[in-house]
Amino acid sequence: MFFHIVLERNMQLHPRYFGRNLRDNLVSKLMKDVEGTCSGRHGFVVAVTGIENVGKGLIRDGTGFVTFPVKYQCVVFRPFKGEILEAVVTMVNKMGFFAEAGPVQIFVSNHLIPDDMEFQSGDIPNYTTSDGSVKIQKDSEVRLKIIGTRVDATEIFCIGTIKDDFLGVINDPTAI
Amino acid sequence: MTDHYNKLVKLVARAFYDDDISLKEDNNINNNTNNNNNQPKPGKRRRNDNRGIAVVILDALTRRRRWVSEQDLAFDLKLNRKQLRRTLNFLEEEKIIAREAVEKKRNTFSYYCCLDYEQIYDVVRYRVHGMKRKLKDGLENKKTVQEYICLDCGRRFNSLDAARLLSLEDGEFHCEHCYGKVEIGDGDGDGDNARGQRREKLKEMLQKMEVQLKPLMNQLVRVKDLPVPEFFTLEAWEARSRARAAHGDNAGDSTLHYGGDVQIVVDFSGTETEGKGEGDKSEIEDIALKGKYIKAYYAALLKQYELAEAAKKQQELPNSHVATYDHSNSTHAQARAADGDNNAVDLTMHNSGDFQVVVDFNGSKGVGDKSGTEDIALKDEYIKAYYAALLKQWELAEAAKKQEELSNSHTATYDHSCSTYDRQVGMKSKSEEDAEEDDGGIEWEEAPIGGNGNGSNRAMEWNVQAEEAHEGDDDDDSVDWEEG
């Protein structure tokens, strides 16, 4: 799920950026630092959308770096148990397949793949129904449901299922 | 309606609380599990066996259907007070009963408990829902987290670790410690065989549960549209009983009977046709209602056998009612009340009885807000039963003449629902009056129980009751229970 929230961060800025463009430099550095990171608490930071306020800078003794407390608005993505996501399959093996929904990686084990889909090893490993009408392989798009998340301080990993109504392949790359 | 709820309570008690409660208290995890299978462990030693105590207590509470001092309850059930309290604590935690403490003296509390019907309904539904969901989830493998075992070092992983196990070289899973091959492992064993067995077991359990809980589910459905029985707080209840005591016999009895009688009639409406809406009180032609009145009429009629005295006055009363009946209920009630007043000079008791029955009618109509569906078959049954009762009537030697007169008038006016209705009023008032004379307050408890049966058994039941006279109250209870 996506959230638009306000976060705070202490930015350290090198003295060479001091000048007229200090603020612009600060913002661009913030974006570079923050976007794409993951915190267990808030999820993945997708984009910084604005700066709420920049506090007074504090010059560090010895280094000359300045620390600015910056409050910024950003969009975060945090997967939840029970959430339905659309994801792209990145890797298929006999244990199941891995998929990615944006920054988050999801594993679907073979017990959570419908019983009528069988693993086919070979050049392109895939899961196929007995009549061959549905195929899951690399780059397939699937709709899946998250049934478990593992949240570490800097990492979120999910397991999902496609064994439910309206889940499964939504776009087959070979059919295009 | 109370009877339906009571039946629900009884079913619940037997379904969920008939095993040893102390065990549940120990592990306290049974909210969603199937408790029927929760047998006490043989190895475990317990101080005392509590099995079934909850059932006994809940049954006792359904008979009392009001606030009961725990001290009295312990005394009545011949239970150790400590044991009782422990069970009640448990039931309170399960949200089956409500309890309140009253400080009698300083630092001396006496505890009261009462069935909390409204909550019982919700709690039971939630519980059944939880049980079903759990079994179904297990069956469909929806929530399983796959386990993996390293073949070399025996470490266990689950699918949440999959990202770390995945090796980019060959796309297979390898142990993150020893880089050995990782295979699928199962919690209880390995492979699909154990899984299949577990599925079978779950499926069986689900089926069993559905069969065994069927009566309970039916009762839940039946109770669904019924209003919840009045459930006062202890304070309100005490205020009522105080008021009752203060007002003396007459007023007090009438309030008592109010509660009881409403329950009788309401029960009829629940079992067959749901009664009528409050708005259309004037449509007495409704066949379903007619059947109800006939039924109620039996109640009164058969009770009458037991009572030889006051039969004459009884006859006078109904006659006057026939005249006034065609009006709407409210005017009817007023006429009735006036009527009672007329008699009051020589028969105060009668007066109170009569009045109370009028109230009873209003209650009966008000309760089921659904428009009734007529059940002709039921009606036929009533007619049949009615004749059976008539036959029986003939057999009775004493008061034969009076009875004959009565029955004549009934047959004559039978098609006319109004008159039977009326007659019922008369009879009822009388029977109630007598009940009052007999045992006052106790009657409040027992009378509604008699009205618990349904359908064709009703006439039979009343016959039995007539023979047993008033002392067979406890029997009534058990009969009702089996019947439903």
Say yes or no for a CB contact (<8 Å) between A98 and B140: no
Full DSSP string of B361-418: HHHHHHH--SPP---HHHHHHHHHHHHHHHHHHHH--TTHHHHHHHHHHHHHTTT-HH
CB contact under 8 A, A111 and B166: no
The nearest CA of chain A is from the CA of B146 a distance in Å of 7
Q: At what angle do helices B348-367 and B234-268 cross, to 10 degrees?
A: 80
3-state secondary structure of A173: helix
What φ, ψ does residue B479 adopt, rounded to 5°?
-60, -45
Per-residue pLDDT, A100: 94
Angle at B239 between CA B237 and CA B245, to 5 degrees: 105
Whether A109 sits inside 8 A of B173 (CB atoms) is no
On whether the CB atoms of residues B466 and B403 are closer than 8 A, the answer is: no
**Residue A12 pLDDT grade (very low, low, confident, very high; cuts 50, 70, 90):** very high
A105 vs B159, B163, B171: nearest CB: B163
Tell which residue, B163, B221, B210, has the closest CA to residue B4.
Answer: B221
Q: How far is CA B255 from the centre of its chain?
A: 21
- Chain-chain contact of B162 with A159 (C-beta, under 8 angstroms): yes
The predicted pLDDT at position B403 comes to: 53
Residue of B nearest to A112 (CA): B142
pLDDT of amino acid A83: 94
Secondary structure in 3-state letters for B250-277 = HHHHHHHHHHHHHHHHHHHHHHHHCCCC
Among B160, B166, B171, beta carbon nearest to A159? B160
CA distance B320 to B340: 11
**What is the pTM assigned to this prediction?**
0.43
Query: What does the pLDDT read at residue B277?
Result: 40
A155 to chain B: nearest residue by CA?
B163
Residue A160 has a pLDDT of 92
Confidence of residue A47 (pLDDT cuts 50, 70, 90): very high
Listing DSSP states for B323-348 in one string gives HHHTS-HHHHHHHHHHHHHHHHTT-H
pLDDT band of residue A34 (cuts 50, 70, 90) is very high
Size of interface A-B (CB pairs under 8 A): 55
Which contiguous run of DSSP H or E holds residue B481? helix B473-483
Q: How far apart are CA A41 and CA A151, in angstroms?
A: 8
**Under an 8 A CB cutoff, do B163 and A109 touch?**
no
Helix (H) or strand (E) holding B185: strand B182-185
In B45-171, beta strands by DSSP E: 68-69, 97-105, 108-115, 147-150, 156-158
- Select the residue from B159, B164, B168, B169 to test the A interface by mutation, using most A Cβ atoms within 10 A: B159
Q: Does B172 touch chain A (CB under 8 A)?
A: yes
User: For residue B301, what pLDDT is reported?
Assistant: 58
Q: What is the pLDDT of residue B468?
A: 46
ipTM over 0.90? The verdict is: no
Contacts of B144 in chain A (CB under 8 A): 111-112
Whether the predicted pLDDT of A9 surpasses 90: yes
Dist. CA B363–CA B369, nearest whole Å: 11
- pLDDT tens series, chain B, 484 aa: 577 888 888 888 888 887 766 555 544 444 433 444 444 444 444 455 667 888 888 888 888 767 888 888 888 888 888 888 888 888 888 888 888 888 777 777 888 888 888 888 889 889 988 888 888 877 766 556 778 888 888 888 888 888 888 887 777 888 888 888 888 775 544 455 666 777 788 888 888 888 888 888 888 888 888 877 766 677 777 777 777 777 654 433 333 333 333 333 333 333 333 333 444 444 444 555 555 666 666 666 566 555 644 554 455 454 444 433 444 444 444 444 444 444 333 333 333 333 333 333 333 343 333 334 445 556 666 667 777 777 776 666 555 555 555 555 554 444 444 433 444 444 444 444 444 444 433 344 433 433 344 444 444 444 444 444 444 444 444 444 444 3
B174: closest chain A residue by CA: A95
- pLDDT of residue A96 exceeding 80: yes
Note the maximum CA span of chain B.
107
Query: What pLDDT, on the 0 to 100 scale, is given for residue B58?
Result: 87
Contact between chains at B159 and A107 (C-beta distance less than 8 A): yes
The whole-number pLDDT of residue B367 equals 38
Q: So what's the pLDDT on residue B63? A: 84
Are B172 and A164 within 8 A, CB to CB?
no
Do residues B112 and B70 make contact, with C-beta atoms less than 8 angstroms apart?
yes
Q: Cβ-count burial of B192 within 10 angstroms (0-12 exposed, 13-18 middle, 19+ buried)? A: exposed
**CA–CA dist B289, B273 (Å, integer):** 8
- Distance from the B133 Cα atom to the nearest Cα atom in chain A, whole angstroms: 15
Query: In sequence order, what E strands does chain A have?
Result: 2-13, 38-39, 43-54, 58-59, 66-77, 84-93, 96-101, 104-109, 117-120, 126-129, 135-136, 141-151, 156-161, 168-171
Q: For B148, which residue in chain A has the nearest alpha carbon?
A: A95
Question: What's residue B393's pLDDT?
Answer: 67
Residue with the larger pLDDT of the pair A53 and B100:
A53
Give the helix ranges, DSSP H, for B414-472: 417-450, 457-468
Q: What is the percent of chain A where pLDDT is above 70?
A: 97
Output the pLDDT for position B24: 54
Q: What is the mean pLDDT of chain A?
A: 91
Q: Which residue of B has its CA nearest to A125?
A: B171
pLDDT of residue A6: 96
* Amino acid sitting at position A129: T
A98 CB neighbours in chain B (<8 A) are: 162-163, 166
| A chain contacts of residue B173, beta-carbon cutoff 8 Å | 93, 95
Q: Average of pLDDT values for A137-159? A: 91
Sign of CA dihedral B454, B455, B457, B463: positive
For an interface test with B, the pick among A97, A104, A107 (most B C-beta atoms closer than 10 Å) comes out as A107
How many CA atoms lie within 13 Å of B447's alpha carbon, on the beta-carbon side?
28
> Between chains, do B145 and A148 touch, taking CB under 8 Å as contact?
yes
- The closest alpha carbon to B115, from B208, B18, B213, B3, belongs to B3
C-beta neighbour count of B475 within 10 angstroms = 13
Task: Mention every residue, 6+ apart, whose C-beta is less than 8 A from residue B313.
Answer: B343, B347, B350
What is the Cα–Cα distance from A146 to A161, expressed in whole angstroms?
A: 6
Mean pLDDT of the A98-114 span: 91
Task: Supply the pLDDT for residue B331.
Answer: 40
Distance CA B479, CA B453 (A): 8
Please check whether residue B38 is in contact with residue B15, taking contact to mean a CB–CB distance below 8 angstroms.
no
* pLDDT given for residue B195 in this prediction: 66
**Residue with more model confidence, B147 or A145:** A145
